[in-house]
Amino acid sequence: MYKILWIIAIVFVIAIALYLASIMFYEGGTSVRETIRETYSYPETTIVGNIVYLPLPNRVTNMSIEEALLLRRSLRDYTSDPITIEHLSMILWAAQGISNTKWGFRTAPSAGATYPLEIYVVVGDEKVLIKPGEYLRAGVYKYNVKTHSLLLIKEGDYRNDLAREALNQEWVAEAAVNIVICAVYERTTSRYGERGIRYVHIEVGHVGQNIYLMATALGLGTVAVGAFFDDGVARVINAQENERPLYIMPIGVPVKPYYTTFDEINKYYIANRE
């Protein structure tokens, strides 16, 4: 009898403890959430005039390369949530960041290290969070590879303008930001002649896949867009005369992230071997 009462008493105490914890977390005492918010260290972003010095690249995900490859998918439906400037920083580093300080080699391979690509970012209004209540100004920016920074080219939300030049593909207008990759063909063709055109197109594919994999690891969505009016896109981003747009890659928080497992994939392989 006493043993049963003892067990009941223990269960009662545990129930009370769980109830109090739930009150602390969900109600006026949102102390757990507040603690998380207060202790989270927002990466440093320095803005000097029209230059945005991005948070320095670092390891920020726990996803393996195998998992990123497994879960990579073209995602076109995004929520209205902003992305963080830390995530934008890592996507730009994955696209064209420095990975060798002696020779200036980058994260994506380039024929003869000629590096013909230039990166622009079209940022929506309150779509890149710097810290609570502070957002990156909406506008068109150009990525500086050597300083890992963005230069504001023109201020304003140009996502709708970009979408119109991309045959009204709504995911361009709805994404938090759009990465626009341009090519300066002469950097590569001056060394390799006409063959260099092919090398430039191969390189933009490398960069696109890097963006896909980093976005996947960060829990974001993207899709490679190649259907657009070249001259119109160049006008929207104020590209230089010798810079030709090749890719638009919208980036946003996906409405429904893609998910699968290696078990599911392996069942497919085994079934096809029978």
Q: Answer whether 82's CB lies under 8 Å from 135's CB.
A: yes
| Residue 32: band (very low, low, confident or very high) from pLDDT cuts 50, 70, 90 | very low
Output the average pLDDT for the chain.
89
pLDDT at 121: 98
| Residue 11: band (very low, low, confident or very high) from pLDDT cuts 50, 70, 90 | very low
Q: Is the pLDDT of residue 174 over 50?
A: yes
| Residue 225: band (very low, low, confident or very high) from pLDDT cuts 50, 70, 90 | very high
| Residue 20: band (very low, low, confident or very high) from pLDDT cuts 50, 70, 90 | very low
**CA atoms within a 13 Å half-sphere pointing along the CA-CB vector of 75:** 25
| Residue 43: band (very low, low, confident or very high) from pLDDT cuts 50, 70, 90 | confident
Q: Answer whether 102's CB lies under 8 Å from 113's CB.
A: no
The domain of 25 spans: 2-32
> How do residues 79-117 score in pLDDT, each as one tens digit?
999 999 999 999 999 999 999 999 999 999 999 999 999
Report the pLDDT averaged over residues 29-56.
69
Answer yes or no: is 273 within a domain. Answer: no
15 and 70 fall within a common domain: no
| Residue 167: band (very low, low, confident or very high) from pLDDT cuts 50, 70, 90 | very high
| Residue 44: band (very low, low, confident or very high) from pLDDT cuts 50, 70, 90 | confident
Q: Is the pLDDT of residue 19 over 60?
A: no
93 and 198 fall within a common domain: yes
Q: Answer whether 142's CB lies under 8 Å from 150's CB.
A: yes
Give the residue from 19, 97, 117, 8 showing the smallest Cα distance to 54: 97
Q: Is the pLDDT of residue 58 over 90?
A: yes
Instruction: Give the whole-angstrom CA distance, residue 155 versus residue 207.
Output: 26
85 and 116 fall within a common domain: yes
18 and 62 fall within a common domain: no
83 and 15 fall within a common domain: no
pLDDT at 237: 98
pLDDT at 6: 55
pLDDT at 21: 42
Q: Answer whether 243's CB lies under 8 Å from 235's CB.
A: no
19 and 152 fall within a common domain: no
Answer yes or no: is 148 within a domain. Answer: yes
Answer yes or no: is 200 within a domain. Answer: yes
| Residue 240: band (very low, low, confident or very high) from pLDDT cuts 50, 70, 90 | very high
Q: Is the pLDDT of residue 30 over 80?
A: no
| Residue 33: band (very low, low, confident or very high) from pLDDT cuts 50, 70, 90 | very low
Q: How many domains does the chain have?
A: 2
Answer yes or no: is 272 within a domain. Answer: no
Instruction: Give the whole-angstrom CA distance, residue 219 versus residue 108.
Output: 21
Answer yes or no: is 70 within a domain. Answer: yes
26 and 75 fall within a common domain: no
111 and 15 fall within a common domain: no
What CATH number corresponds to the domain at position 77?
3.40.109.10
